[in-house]
A and B are shown apart, each in its own frame.
Chain A
């Protein structure tokens, strides 16, 4: 008895096949100087790309033939939760280049907490501010990581 292939698994397998083809294309476009013709810069990329292609095709066959062995049918995605976290990540990327890391951290923290079911956005934003400031000071001062300049960071 053969189950109907699951569309989501199929899509993931196709994504991997596409990555393998992309990698093969990039391998073919590496120029090879005749000095290195035998064991040049392309030998290993060939191994890696062909390996990825072979195994992703096996996965594709498994997905077509009734699903990946040992993987349960997935529960439905909680889009609301995922949406909040995604929105937080997007806001993070936009704000970090404009208002700076700390404000980006506040937005990211509050949205993620909301996504995980917190109902107190103001409190979350304040905690996010604390975490962001502590993280900024810790990493910038102790580890010397440059997290960019922003509206607030310049004052510290």
Chain B
């Protein structure tokens, strides 16, 4: 009941005229960037970071939350009409959604995606509301050693589990950790990795790296392979209302998607890709007509879309309760907290209760706004999708310039952004994941802090991470995450060999 009172207080803040405006602006921008291929919520939040100097923290986070949720809705529109997933989490939606659109059923596909996102997003936000205080209670019992080990799980999950190659993921993670070290060491005041440059004393600006990796790298990558074709945009066809049959086939996948998505997002092994794959697989198993899958089965849109949005809410759980971001957007939001001088973690709910609860309340409001923005106003987003590529990428680079140059009016920052963009282009070309770099860079300094605190408490004894049972359990999970996939693959391969040679 106490939770409900706190939530009501949050609604009181979130429903002020100014904050409603921020929520709407966030949802609108978020849907737009979700719809546009090549840019996403992480880049948008990074570009909006300067707002933290202008408005109260609650308003800024309501804006960011709107962008974050909005991009999930917008991404599905692109997947369905263009077959180019706007976000990695909507790859699965493209499978069935694009097939539906090809068969003149774009309307029902968009409708089941938007309504499913709303249903699952609301369920997951409710789960966040009621589970977060419980997690906070548990988290308050963790010491620095446990924290460090928990961060190791997060590092391993984003770099070794997701993505196509553990080696490439871990390389990028360590690169991110190195980037995070640059600047003055907070405990001793010594400059590290600064090459004697004053500009680097404050560390590498998150905005510059994020904009370089997302906007500049994406543009250069597409320019480099420019000759290789354009996508075809399918027209908006079919009624935007679900028929009775569509609805009957959709509502169970929505609920199942929510149940799958939230826990996947909430455990520090985050990421929205896994739950969408999982949901798709389950829906295909359970479908009454599985032969329709691959040819536009509505269940294959409803389930993964619901899972995707539920996991987006789930990701906010470790972020708000533990200060542990498991997606790139969450990591950039974490740096926004730092810019307000707020340290996310279990104490956040006590010291910044009003901020947290108004942000959670805004998620309910944002979901409702997004349902309206994405169904009756869908025509607007189809027009946004029609922006020709030459002008779209020209505009993206102009905004990227503001992001980097606006930090300190320094051409050095601009050059750093170009350099990061060039490296990012090579990363895309050779299939290196981007998320581990950003998460390593933002979470790395926090991990170092916990590491040093734990080592100080144990008087320099490294075994403290293994002798404390909870910490040891976390490290065992992290080790299992790295080792399990290759072992399972080897096992499967040996069984396949055994079967083929009788």
Instruction: Annotate A1-44 by CB proximity to B: 1 below 8 A, 0 otherwise.
Output: 00000000100100110010001001100110100101111011
> Which residues on the B side are within 8 Å of A144 (C-beta)?
50, 53-54
Are the CB atoms of A48 and B220 closer together than 8 Å?
no
B165 at the interface (CB under 8 A from A): yes
A30 neighbours in B (Cβ, 8 Å): 190, 192
B418 part of interface (Cβ distance < 8 Å): yes
Task: Give residues of chain A (76-129) contacting chain B, Cβ–Cβ below 8 Å.
Answer: 77-78, 81-82, 84-86, 88-89, 92-93, 96-97, 101, 104-105, 108-110, 112-118, 124, 127-128
State whether B195 touches A26 (Cβ < 8 A).
Answer: yes
> Assuming the A-B contacts A55-B167, A144-B50, are A70 and B431 also in contact, with contact meaning beta carbons closer than 8 angstroms in the complex?
yes
Contact A135 B399 (CB under 8 A): yes
With both chains docked as a complex, state the minimum distance between the C-beta of A41 and any C-beta of chain B, in angstroms: 4
Q: Within the complex, which residue of A36, A48, A117 is in contact with B174, where a contact is CB–CB below 8 Å? A: A48
Complex formed: what's the CA distance from A146 to B459 in Å? 47
Residues of A in contact, count (CB < 8 Å) = 75
Expressed in whole angstroms, the minimum distance between the Cβ of B353 and any Cβ of chain A is: 27
User: In the bound complex, what is the Cα–Cα distance between A15 and B455 (angstroms)?
Assistant: 33
B175 in contact (CB, < 8 A): yes
Contact A113 B171 (CB under 8 A): no
Max chain A Cβ within 10 angstroms of own Cβ: one of B48, B180, B190, B444: B190
State the main secondary structure of chain A at its contact with B: helix
Q: Is B468 an interface residue (CB 8 A)?
A: no
Chain A hits for B178, CB < 8 A: 19, 23, 45, 48-49, 52
A86 to B397, CA, bound (A): 11
- Whether B224 lies near A19 (C-beta < 8 A) is no
Q: How far is the CA of A90 from the CA of B447 in the complex (A)?
A: 37
- CB pair B174–A118 under 8 Å, yes or no, is no
User: Contacting chain A: which of B79-87, B246-254, B360-368, B403-411?
Assistant: B403-411
- Are B171 and A56 interface neighbours, CB within 8 A? yes
Residue from B224, B401, B429 in contact with A81 in the complex, judged by beta carbons closer than 8 Å: B224
Main secondary structure of the interface of B (DSSP, over half): helix
Decide if B223 touches A115 in the complex (CB within 8 Å): yes
Of A58, A85, A110, A124, which contacts B223 at CB under 8 A? A85
**CB-based contact A108/B397 at 8 Å:** yes
Using Cβ atoms and an 8 Å threshold, which residues of chain A touch B459? 38
- List chain B residues, Cβ under 8 A from A27: 193
A76 → B minimal CB distance (Å): 9
Contact partner of B406 (CB less than 8 A), chosen from A58, A84, A117, A147, is A147
Q: Which residues of B contact A85 (CB under 8 A)?
A: 219-220, 223, 393, 397
Q: Which residue of B lies closest to A96 (CB)?
A: B405
Look across to chain B and name the residue whose beta carbon is closest to the beta carbon of A23. Answer: B178
B55 → chain A closest CB, angstroms? 9
Evaluate contact between A139 and B50: CB separation under 8 angstroms. yes
Known: A44-B448, A139-B50. A145 touches B406 (CB 8 A): yes
Known A12-B430, A101-B401; contact A116-B53, beta-carbon cutoff 8 A: no
Closest-by-CB residue of B relative to A44 is B448
Chain A residues near B187 (CB-CB < 8 A): 36, 41
In this assembly, does B297 line the interface, its C-beta being within 8 Å of a C-beta of chain A? Answer: no
* In the complex, chain B residues whose CB is within 8 Å of the CB of A131: 394-395, 398
- Report A142 CB to chain B, min CB distance, Å: 8
Given contacts A45-B192, A145-B406, contact A89 B397 (CB under 8 A): yes
Which B residues are within 8 Å of any A CB, using their own CB? 48, 50-51, 53-54, 164-165, 167-168, 170-171, 173-175, 177-178, 180-181, 185, 187-188, 190, 192-193, 195, 216, 219-220, 222-228, 388-391, 393-395, 397-399, 401-402, 405-406, 409, 411, 414-415, 418, 426, 429-431, 444, 447-448, 451-452, 455-456, 459-460
Other than the known A75-B228, A77-B225, A139-B50, what 7 A-B pairs have Cβ atoms closer than 8 Å? A51-B170, A89-B216, A89-B397, A112-B219, A116-B226, A128-B398, A147-B402
Question: What would be 28 A-B contacts, judged by CB atoms less than 8 Å apart?
Answer: A39-B451, A43-B452, A43-B455, A45-B193, A49-B178, A51-B174, A52-B174, A69-B165, A70-B165, A78-B224, A78-B227, A82-B220, A82-B224, A85-B220, A85-B223, A85-B397, A96-B405, A101-B405, A108-B394, A108-B398, A112-B394, A117-B389, A136-B402, A139-B406, A143-B54, A145-B402, A147-B405, A148-B409
